[in-house]
Amino acid sequence: MRAEESAHSTPFTPEEEAIYFSDTYKLLDEGVHSNKKRKFPYRYWDECLDRGIRGNYVDHFCNSKRMISNILYHFISNNLYSCIERAAGKAGFRIQDAYVIHKGIFADSLHSPQSLHSEGRAIDIAAVRIKTFWKGWGEINFQRSGGGVFYEELRSCWGETLYYNNECPLFKGQPEMTGSLGKEDPDHQRHLHLSVPYCINGQHAGPYFRR
Ligand SMILES: [Zn+2]
């Protein structure tokens, strides 16, 4: 496996994020969405109330000011819920509601400047919580079920979305490998890495990893 396919930086914990972004919160609250540190504009994701997709960091309450790139926010808020719905359908569930439990978005660019986490363009998902009519709330945990139908279909849906809407080529010709890293990678046994790769005109653009 090529290094760029598997290399991964660990995103911030909520506590590390708060320290790293302590100056940036002020800029965002003042309406400034970019600074010299970041190549791409960023914003807050209101994990508690977002109308597209809600979530929380593992073992933490939802955060109304989770730091995220505009582009990852756009794709998760517009597409992740419908991909979860499609994946649940494939696994035999009709869902009423869903949210994600994640292990962070941004990582320190000093550690891996090529990682999509360094620009807030990737999220590590540990589990998806779904609500169905018959069983109420339940959890589809990635460590346990990452190789199964639900996550396979979720990844295919995400990859197709990036192919059609973000000018990304299919990774190895496979939608389920496009914009995600999972059980096929030794570093991704416990979380699903979902990213929005930097793509221009149907090509991956440097210096970032392709997924
Ligand atoms: Zn990741």
Amino acid at 144: R
Distances (CA, A) of 180 to 23, 34, 38, 75, 127: 31, 26, 22, 13, 15
pLDDT of residue 36: 76
Residue 152 phi, psi (nearest 5):
-60, -45
Q: Are residues 107 and 118 in contact, defined by beta-carbon separation less than 8 angstroms?
A: yes
Residue 143 Cα to ligand 1 midpoint, Å, equals 14
Q: Which residues surround ligand 1, an ion (CB under 5 A)?
A: 122, 124, 193
Q: What is the pLDDT of residue 1?
A: 41
Dist. CA 178 → ligand 1 center (Å): 13
In contact, 79 and 161? CB cutoff 8 Å = yes
What is residue 108's predicted lDDT score, i.e. its pLDDT? 82
SS3 141: strand
Residue with the two structure tokens 């973000």: 166
Q: Within the chain, which residues score under 50 in pLDDT? A: 1-4, 6
How far does the centroid of ligand 1 lie from the alpha carbon of residue 202, in Å? 22
pLDDT of residue 2: 47
Q: Which residues contact 129 (CB under 8 A, 6 or more apart)?
A: 98, 99, 100, 101, 137, 138, 139, 140
C-alpha 138 – ligand 1 centre gap (Å): 24
Residue 9 has a pLDDT of 78
Looking at residue 116, the DSSP 8-state letter turns out to be G
pLDDT for residue 96: 98
Cis peptide before 186 (omega within 30 of 0): no
How many CB atoms are located within 10 Å of the residue 21 CB? 18
pLDDT at 121: 97
Q: State residue 7's pLDDT score.
A: 57
